[in-house]
Amino acid sequence: MRCSGERRAVADSIFARPWETFLLTLEDGVCTMTLNRPDRLNAMNRTMRRELGDCFLEMAGLEEVRCLILTGAGRAFSAGGDINDFRSGPQNLHALMGRVSHRWFKALWALPQPVIGAVNGVAGGGGCNLALGCDLVFASEEASFVQTFLKIGLVPDLGGAFLLPRLVGLHKAKELALLGERIDAPTALGLGLVNRVCPPETLLPEAREAARRLAAGSPSAITLTKRMMNRSFESSMEAVLDQEWMAQSYLFGTPESRDGVARFLDKS
């Protein structure tokens, strides 16, 4: 367990660090990460993948961060993997995926804090699956989503084969992956890939308002809800009931729960 001084030192190291590939801010418990390679449509190169892993792993232990917003600079959310990395050959790409890409994506998926993807433009390939790996996805009316992998002879990565069938069903997931057709934000909303479609000028304000609401909630309850839902497709009903029993038994004793129950009783 970190003392408050240790937590502050870690927070300062993250938010004062000169990250090369993204911008990081913290305000009222809401961290905003802006992918910042607009000249490359925020494509993920080796440096970005490494920095994302370092940042997410440290962020997981910060009580100061209550919610994370992910967005992109310029006209793209992320075009996926930087094609320049593909010049390094199959062996290097194999190592890049296992040691670098999966490291940061697992860290994102396991974050105890809720994550809102604010998709401002194209989300292609790995960038699409980065968005789908968020807990909530808000999309600009100018956003689009496309699984580009088969166009270059690859399979969906960054959890695409896990996430897509769970979000849209097996047949639609196969259509999106195999045909690789670009879909706009309203279509993504209809399929259940995103939670909300916003005018471009209100995308970040709406994401920040939702983030503030999450930041004001019980961190323990939010973390446990995330964890149970992420595991639900691999669990039986009996296992989920056991998990919720243990979670509620713990949460009943937290100050947030006691205060919430007291407020509810005062209103009744």
Digit-coded pLDDT (tens) for 49-102: 999 999 999 999 999 999 999 999 999 999 998 877 766 655 566 566 667 888
pTM: 0.88
Number of structural domains (the chain) is: 2
**For residue 121, which of 28, 40, 229 has the smallest C-alpha distance?**
40
Q: In which region does residue 158 sit, left (phi positive, over 0), alpha (psi from -120 to 50) or beta (all else)? A: left
Strands (E), 98-232: 115-119, 122-124, 136-140, 144-146, 183-184, 196-198
Angle between helices 46-59 and 4-15 (to 10 degrees): 160
- Helices 160-168 and 170-179 pack at an angle, to 10 degrees, of 130
Rounded Cα distance, 20 and 9, in Å: 21
pLDDT digits (tens, 9 = 90+) for 223-258: 999 999 998 888 777 877 777 767 767 776 777 766
Q: Residue 216: its pLDDT value, please?
A: 95
* Same-domain check for residues 194 and 178: yes
Domain range for 99: 4-215
Measured CA to CA, the distance from residue 132 to residue 144 in angstroms comes to 12
Which CATH number fits the domain that encloses residue 143? 3.90.226.10
Residue 190 sits in the same domain as residue 224: no
Which residues 6+ apart lie within 8 Å of 103 measured at CB? 49, 53
Q: Which of 139, 103, 133, 94 is nearest to 118 (CA)?
A: 139
Which amino acid is it at 118? A
Residues 98 and 208 placed together within one structural domain of the fold: yes
The per-residue pLDDT for range 118-162, each reduced to its tens digit, is 999 999 999 999 999 999 999 999 999 999 998 888 888 899 999
Same domain, 59 and 158: yes
| Domain shared by 97 and 40, yes or no | yes
Judgement on whether residues 239 and 169 belong to the same structural domain of the protein: no
Considering only CA atoms, which of 52, 97, 106, 114 is closest in space to residue 78? 52
* 209 and 224 share one domain: no
Q: What is the model's pLDDT at position 175?
A: 97
Query: For residue 70, which of 124, 142, 144, 131 has the smallest C-alpha distance?
Result: 131
Question: Do residues 49 and 133 share a domain?
Answer: yes
Q: Are residues 198 and 223 in the same domain?
A: no
Say which DSSP state 234 is in.
G
Give the separation between CA 242 and CA 22, rounded to whole angstroms.
40
For residues 68 and 109, is the Cβ–Cβ distance under 8 A? no
* Tokens matching residue 45: 């190169």
Q: What SS3 state is found at 98?
A: helix
Contact 96, 49 (CB under 8 A): yes
**Shared domain check, 128 and 9:** yes
Tell me: do 126 and 244 sit in the same domain.
Answer: no
Look at residues 215, 241, 256 and tell me which one is the last residue of a structural domain: 215
Do 65 and 142 fall within a single domain?
yes
